């Protein structure tokens, strides 16, 4: 998926066709970039099917647009800020073919420096809403497959058959946590999610949103609360709200303010108030990202 980052997308496509020999149907979704990169992409890679949305549909909306164009037996979702260094798709497909109980498989993600970024996610704590990204390079010494509680949105493979069961990627998040919500659906159907550590992919990370941005602060705050509201209930969700408002949120705000990131602090608060507004049905805050919020 491309959004105002054509050069990064071209680098991904170059690495893809340099390393992969597996039969592929490559679909590039341009998610409402300011300038249409269709000519530039198709002139260099005429074998690519280019699909453009005139407006930004968000992460899930862009992926769903790509799914509508795809005809393959397997669906491989990959961010444009990634780069192939070895063939991996055949290895990922083999994992799903070998074990019908596996619903999704991710490659191991590494930074451009070579340091490991991702070998799986731990479960989300129902009381605090927190989890960890595993990066231990010794964890897969006995087996190339590691069980993960969630797929990583940067790159993961599912079958068309599983997609028919879980439905479209939820578009009400717009950015961040969509793959977590989808993963929760996958595991609720008693499928597992794994990371194939023999399949390595470089992830440049946050090429579109930036590592610290107003947009990221808003949606990370907004969507963590939304995910918890959608997937947990009872006493745990009440405890989580207390923990988030009295512990986690003040820490986030303090970090932003210490760095002079006032807009990020306001965006974080706006994400909280968006959830309060949705929970109570009252209008508590108008914010400039409201045009992006679609439930």
Q: Where are the domains of the chain?
A: 6-203, 214-292
Please, which pLDDT band fits residue 213 given cuts at 50, 70 and 90? confident
Is 243:129 a contact under the CB 8 Å cutoff? yes
What pLDDT is recorded for position 294?
Answer: 40
Dmax over CA atoms of the chain, in Å, equals 56
Q: Looking at residue 290, what is its pLDDT?
A: 47
Given a cut of 70, whether residue 131 has pLDDT beyond it is: yes
CB 217 within 8 A of CB 271: yes
- Which pLDDT does position 277 carry in this prediction? 85
Structure tokens at 41: 């992409």
- Mean residue pLDDT of the chain comes to 90
Among 85-94, 145-154, 270-279, name the one with the lowest average pLDDT.
270-279
Q: What is the CATH number of domain 6-203?
A: 3.90.550.10
Write down the pLDDT at residue 293.
Answer: 43
Radius of gyration of the chain (CA): 19
Structure tokens at 128: 């605090």
Range 262-288 average pLDDT: 76
Q: At what angle do helices 249-258 and 214-231 cross, to 10 degrees?
A: 180
Model-level pTM? 0.88
Q: What is the pLDDT of residues 1-46, one digit of tens each?
A: 999 999 999 999 999 999 998 999 999 999 999 999 999 999 999 9
């Amino acid at each position: 998926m491309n959004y105002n980052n054509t050069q990064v997308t071209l680098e991904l496509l170059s690495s893809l066709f340099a390393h992969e020999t597996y039969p592929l149907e490559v679909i590039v979704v341009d998610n409402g970039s300011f300038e249409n990169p269709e000519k530039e992409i198709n002139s260099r890679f005429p074998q690519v099917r280019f699909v453009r949305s005139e407006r930004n549909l968000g992460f899930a909306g862009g992926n769903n647009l790509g799914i509508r164009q795809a005809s393959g037996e397997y669906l491989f979702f990959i961010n444009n800020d990634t780069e192939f260094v070895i063939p991996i798709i055949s290895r990922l497909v083999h994992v799903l073919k070998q074990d019908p109980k596996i619903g999704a498989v991710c490659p191991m993600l590494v930074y451009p420096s070579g340091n490991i970024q991702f070998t799986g996610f731990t479960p989300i704590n129902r009381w605090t809403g927190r989890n960890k990204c595993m990066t231990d390079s010794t964890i897969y010494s006995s087996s190339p497959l590691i069980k993960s509680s969630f797929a990583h949105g940067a790159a993961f493979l599912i079958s068309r058959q599983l997609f028919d069961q879980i439905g479209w990627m939820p578009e009400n998040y717009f950015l961040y946590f969509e793959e977590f919500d989808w993963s929760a659906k996958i595991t609720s159907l008693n499928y597992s999610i794994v990371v194939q550590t023999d399949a390595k992919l470089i992830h440049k990370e946050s090429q579109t949103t930036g590592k610290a941005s107003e947009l990221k602060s808003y949606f990370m705050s907004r969507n963590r609360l939304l995910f918890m509201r959608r997937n947990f209930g009872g006493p745990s969700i009440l405890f989580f709200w207390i923990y988030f408002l009295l512990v986690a949120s003040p820490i986030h705000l303090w970090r932003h303010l210490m760095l002079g990131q006032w807009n990020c602090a306001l965006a974080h608060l706006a994400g909280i108030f968006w959830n309060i507004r949705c929970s109570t049905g009252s209008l508590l805050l108008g914010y400039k990202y409201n045009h992006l919020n679609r439930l």
